[in-house]
Amino acid sequence: MARKTIFVSDFSSKEIADEKQSATITVRYGDGRRGIVVADAHVDDPIVTQIASAGKQQARRGRRPKNAEQ
């Protein structure tokens, strides 16, 4: 019997049917002892919109993909 994994938003309890509709929210504290907190969210959740408007987009790190180098 096959099993199907269903992802659910931690904030609104909406089912995340497609991977394109998901967002991962990561909180890193300045104090290393507190660790890192990760939460799954649906892109339509109001908290995602609020965080995206308050934060800034971070540049991608590392080497560029081969098709972009040419």
Q: Percent of the chain at pLDDT above 90? A: 44
Q: Is residue 28 part of a domain?
A: yes
Residue 32 falls inside a structural domain: yes
Domain count along the chain: 1
- 37 occurs within a structural domain: yes
pLDDT surpasses 80 at 68: no
φ, ψ dihedrals at 19, nearest 5°:
-65, -25
Range of the domain at 33: 22-56
Asked whether residue 66 is domain-assigned, the answer is: no
The rounded percent of the chain whose pLDDT value lies above 70 is 96
> pLDDT at position 10, please?
92
- Reported pTM: 0.68
Q: Is residue 67 part of a domain?
A: no
What's the confidence (pLDDT) of residue 19?
85
Instruction: Give a yes or no: residue 51 inside a domain.
Output: yes
Relative to beta strand 22-28, strand 36-42 is antiparallel
DSSP string for the chain: ------EE-TTT--EE-SGGGEEEEEEE-SSGGG-EEEEEEETT-HHHHHHHHHS-PPPP-SPPPHHHH-
